[in-house]
Chains A and B, each alone.
Chain A
Amino acid sequence: MKVFLMYENKDFVVDEDLPKNADTLMSDLELKPLLDCMSKEDEFLYDVSKKALLCSLDSTRDVIYRQEILKDCMKNPLITKELYELTIKSLAKKQERWLGVFGRYPGSLLSSSVSLLDMYFELFVEMRQIVDENIQNFSSSGFQRFFKMIQKELDDEYLMLVKEHLKELKFKGGVLLSAKLGKAYEGIEYTLRRDKFATKSWLGKILTPKSKEYSFSLHPRDDAGAKVLRNLRDEGLNKIANSLSRSANHIDNFFISLRRELAFYMGCLNLQEKLQELNCAFVFPIVTSLEETIFSTKDLYDISLALIKNEKVVGNDINTDAKLFFITGANQGGKSTFLRSTGQAQLMLQCGMFVPAMHFKANLCNGVFTHFKKEEDKTMKSGKFDEELLRMNDIVEIVKPNALILFNESFASTNEIEGSLIASQIIKALIQKNIKIFFVTHMFELAQSFYKQKLKNTIFLRPNRDKEGKRDFKITPAPPLTTSFAKDIFDSIF
């Protein structure tokens, strides 16, 4: 029984196996406020959301699979929560009843496994009921498959059969073992047998002729003898106890993965609620393949900024099939915000979420990378420029064709000519590998050199600026300018 609500045919695993640049992405793209909102301070939801957000899907099919499921959840938030609660309940009850395998004897392992299975099957009955009542309200292929599986695998007949076995597994009439004589008359090959006699009705019991048997009862105070019998019983029960504890463990894993896979959608529901409250737009993005380059947005905004400020923030409208984006222009003109919103939206798109925009269409990218200027880093032993190149080296080591790289004031810690030269070499090499690049820079030399070349697939953007020097933080296409308007800011402060 597989959950498969995150992937069509794969389990969703939450582990430490994140992209190598995960920490960099977290800080450069300011992802924490987003994850905080999704998790509502629930550590588990946080970890699940983080894993999902940072580990992008790699096909449009997978993205759409999740989008459809998320749409179902948004349509049926209460049922989704009910299912999620069921998994929480299984967790809590397990902690109540389960003492673990280590250091246990088969007899006690058996009884606690049976008790655990009793509990799981009660939850299964509940789950069956929820599924039976709501299956028609869910249209995604993911939920349809999941619900139908529950109905098929946990049908009434099966639930009844398990109930009977769980009763028999309490071994009220004793434990029946078969054995052979091994070397030196030692009993070997102890095998648990299903007592034909015990499972018969009372009438059957009377009618079955009893075969010849010898019986012996120990003296009530014969502790040593009792221990031998207990060991004998344990040896007979060992295999089945381990098998049942394994089964209990498997069913536990089923609930755990259901919880894990629903958790992501719970996070999305939390975010949806907040955005609705702030009256911020969100939309399911249109996703195209790696090759079909497109970047089309309406009101794409920095979601973390909105969540921190707790209000609606300005978005941008861009529509292009460019692969190389140069963003130049005024300080505090919203360049970094735009860059971040691009990265966030790309990650959200690639994990099947809705995105912070009124409209968003983009192609999949093979990984998202950031190379942001680090101003505060004073602990570096090597020079600043060395450090920048070192980080670039790290990226090049792991980056693949068709990736997305966001540069923020990179390679500017040396003189502009040297910086431009190096940056342009790097950019040219990356473009050849079909890598999508957003490059925010002050370096006029750099932007200008690309502008003069009039390359295809290149777009130059600049924050809007009216004649009085006031800005509305909107980014619009415009050729690079020599001045960065530092004067404006200087003036506004002094």
Chain B
Amino acid sequence: MQFSSILFNQNKSVEELSLTLDFYTDLNLDQIIDAAISYKTEFDIKRYFYMPQISKEDVIYRQDIVKDLQKDGFCLSVDEFSNKILQIIQYQDIIKNLEYKEYKNGWFLHMVTLYCSALEDFDKVLKSAKLHSQGFLLFREYLDSYLQSDDFVSVQKEMVLIKEKLDLIVYDVLVDGMTFRVKKYENEDDYTKEIERVFEKFAQDEVKAQECKFDKNRGINHVNAKILEFVGKLNPDIFLQLQEFCEKSGDFIDKTFLTFATEVEFYISYLSYIKVVQKQGVSCCFPKISENNKEIQVKDGFDLALAYSLSFEKKRVVPNDYLLKNQERIMIVSGANQGGKSTFARAFGQINYLAKLGLLVPASGAKIFLVDKIFTHFEKEEDIGTLSSKLQVDLLRIHTIFEKATPKSLVVLNEIFSSTSLQDSMFLSKKIMEKIDKLDLFCIWVTFIYKVNEMSEKTISMTSVTHEKEIESRTYKIIKKSPDGKAYAKTLARKYHLSFEQISQRIK
């Protein structure tokens, strides 16, 4: 029996995208990924975040696995198993590089002990958990048959036997200057206890806790190796038995579990990350995926990276709803400065990408089309250079996007052409819009030019509004609404106590 992968359905190979793609930084996905993997730095999982799935079937394979992992306690048990397996991998390295071979057998026995108990513990966990995902069910089947195999059973039996015998060994070491002597323990009294009795009468109720420092005699070195050799000579039978055991079971460890342990941490790291956000009371969901129906519906969508950093200030993001139905493909976002427009655009991009990873997305409900590629073009303020060359660069990049984009792609444009004259940018925008319209791809376009929404039949207009009560909050609501230049001016006036009502009240 075989088990292939907990990440890739039927072990399909998936392309690893370049970390330098614009959309990773523009959508702050790099922040999300880095923060997520920071919860599991000991596992090499970063690359999996750069391997989006292509088919709906594969996305669902993962979603089901995550659903299983969301169950109380199960995720913890899986994580515990992974960490045990990681330790076993480290032990393999240690044994390979041991300088003193006296230790080799002891380490091997220890590793086998851990390995057996890790597998058995996890088997119990899997059997008691109510699992539904294909991935975990297949893994459970594999593990179960592995544990029942003759190989495993006989190795485990002998290991237990040897351990019992080793536990019975007690030896004496007499340290005298540069000489040491090793012999069997002969029931000598515990001298510390005897001394404690002698001075007992001075003991007081309150004892100042004081411990002096010392380096414990741990680790592997020639002295300990020599002591061990002597202990072996004092107990030759059992040491020989262990030696034979090690020779027999050298390649005992199954690599399937090593792969599983790392891969499953991809999910766990992301769940740990998202838990921080969920604690602030915002919800994430599994998006409903479609491969042919080009309709998009999002409820309470938010920027995950922003929500994560706000959660450390115990603040919540303001979520947004939106709907693209029938022929609608393009969201034109306009409105006040610092009104959360970029955040809104990012949030939408994040939902699409995270959905392709098979993970929970930052929204309380989402129905999306499985886009094939994501492109972004964000105005970069730090760009230095003459206007003409900047415009040139911008256009070149946009050109590249439309060369690669397909009708299934998503394009996120953020304040392009803002450094050009209004007339020029109107012209350019119209040209771009024609391309978008023709390709019939999804686009979210943040712009200050409110007339852009009139340039195509496929647009809907979204505007940032600021509620007076939320003046001090950093995130604002975006609603479906035609652009309105007055709303922002009113808010700003209030902030400086210069609204009509305020001025009337203040002047007495």
Contacts and interface: CB of A to CB of B under 8 A. Distances in A.
Range of interface residues on B (Cβ < 8 Å): 35 or more
A244 interface: yes
A246 B207 contact: yes
A178 B186 CA distance: 9
A169 B196 CA distance: 13
A49 interface: no
Given A101-B212, A211-B186, A184 B103 contact: yes
Interface string A244-282: 111101110110000000000000000000000000000
B211 A193 contact: no
A196 interface: yes
Contacts of A153: 201
Interface in B179-212: 179-186, 188-192, 194-196, 198-199, 201-204, 207-208, 210-212
Contacts of B182: 213-215
A165 B207 contact: no
A253 B202 CA distance: 9
A195 B174 contact: yes
A178 B185 contact: yes
A239 B192 contact: yes
B233 interface: yes
- Most interface-central of B170, B214, B230, B234 (chain A CB within 10 A): B214
A179 interface: yes
A217 B214 contact: no
A181 B217 contact: no
A103 interface: yes
A212 B106 CA distance: 24
A481 interface: no
B43 interface: no
A203 interface: no
B190 A215 contact: no
B102 interface: yes
Contacts of A183: 106, 110, 113
A189 to B, nearest CB: 9
A186 interface: yes
Interface string B86-113: 0000000000000000110111011001
B167 A180 contact: yes
B214 A105 contact: yes
Give the size category of A's interface with B: 35 or more
A241 B210 CA distance: 11
Contacts of B210: 101-102, 242, 245-246, 249
A2 to B, nearest CB: 9
A229 B175 contact: yes
Contacts of A224: 221-222
B76 interface: no
B340 to A, nearest CB: 52
Contact of B213 (A103, A174, A193, A239): A103
B207 A238 contact: no
B176 A105 contact: no
Contact of B180 (A103, A185, A195, A229): A229
A358 B185 CA distance: 76
Nearest to A240: B192
Given A211-B183, A211-B186, A249-B208, A179 B173 contact: yes
B354 interface: no
B115 to A, nearest CB: 13
Contact of A187 (B166, B188, B211, B227): B227
Contacts of B217: 187, 190, 228, 231-232, 234-235
A1 B201 contact: yes
A225 B213 CA distance: 20
A269 to B, nearest CB: 28
Contacts of A254: 202
B177 interface: yes
A190 B175 CA distance: 12
A193 B224 contact: no
Nearest to B111: A184
A214 B183 contact: yes
Contact of B172 (A176, A186, A243): A176
A162 interface: yes
Interface string A166-184: 0001000111111111011
Contact of A229 (B178, B207, B233): B178
Nearest to B102: A185
A250 B204 contact: yes
Contacts of B223: 218, 225, 228-229, 232
A312 interface: no
Interface in A354-406: none
A490 interface: no
Nearest to B185: A178
A145 interface: no
Contact of B190 (A191, A234, A235): A191
A494 interface: no
Q: Is the interface of B mostly helix, strand, loop or mixed?
A: mixed
Interface in B125-167: 166-167
A106 interface: yes
B160 to A, nearest CB: 14
Nearest to A250: B202
A242 B212 contact: yes
Residue of A178, A235, A240, A243 most packed against chain B (CB within 10 A):
A178
A470 interface: no
Nearest to A253: B204
A176 B181 CA distance: 9
Interface in B374-411: none
A220 interface: yes
Contacts of B177: 174
Contacts of A217: 178-179
A243 B213 CA distance: 14
B486 interface: no
B427 interface: no
B216 interface: yes
Q: Which of A228, A247, A250 has the most CB of B within 10 A?
A: A228
A185 B221 contact: no
A242 B110 CA distance: 32
A228 B231 CA distance: 17
Contacts of B198: 161-162, 165
B202 A192 contact: no
A474 interface: no
B233 to A, nearest CB: 6
A258 B358 CA distance: 75
A489 interface: no
A233 interface: yes
Given A173-B176, A215-B180, A225-B223, A184 B214 contact: no
A97 interface: no
Most chain A CB within a 10 A radius of its CB, from B109, B171, B191, B227 = B191
Contacts of B212: 101-106, 109, 238, 241-242, 245
Given A169-B195, A176-B172, A220 B178 contact: yes
B105 A185 contact: yes
Given A217-B178, A225-B222, A185 B228 contact: yes
A394 to B, nearest CB: 32
Interface of A: 1, 101-106, 109, 153, 161-162, 165, 169, 173-181, 183-187, 190-196, 211-218, 220, 222, 224-226, 228-229, 231-236, 238-247, 249-251, 253-254
28 contacts: A1-B201, A106-B212, A175-B174, A175-B176, A177-B174, A179-B173, A180-B170, A184-B103, A185-B103, A186-B218, A187-B217, A192-B190, A193-B172, A196-B186, A211-B183, A228-B217, A229-B178, A231-B214, A232-B175, A232-B217, A233-B175, A235-B216, A243-B195, A243-B196, A243-B199, A244-B199, A247-B196, A249-B208
Given A193-B190, A243-B195, A246-B210, 6 more contacts: A106-B212, A153-B201, A211-B184, A229-B223, A235-B214, A243-B192
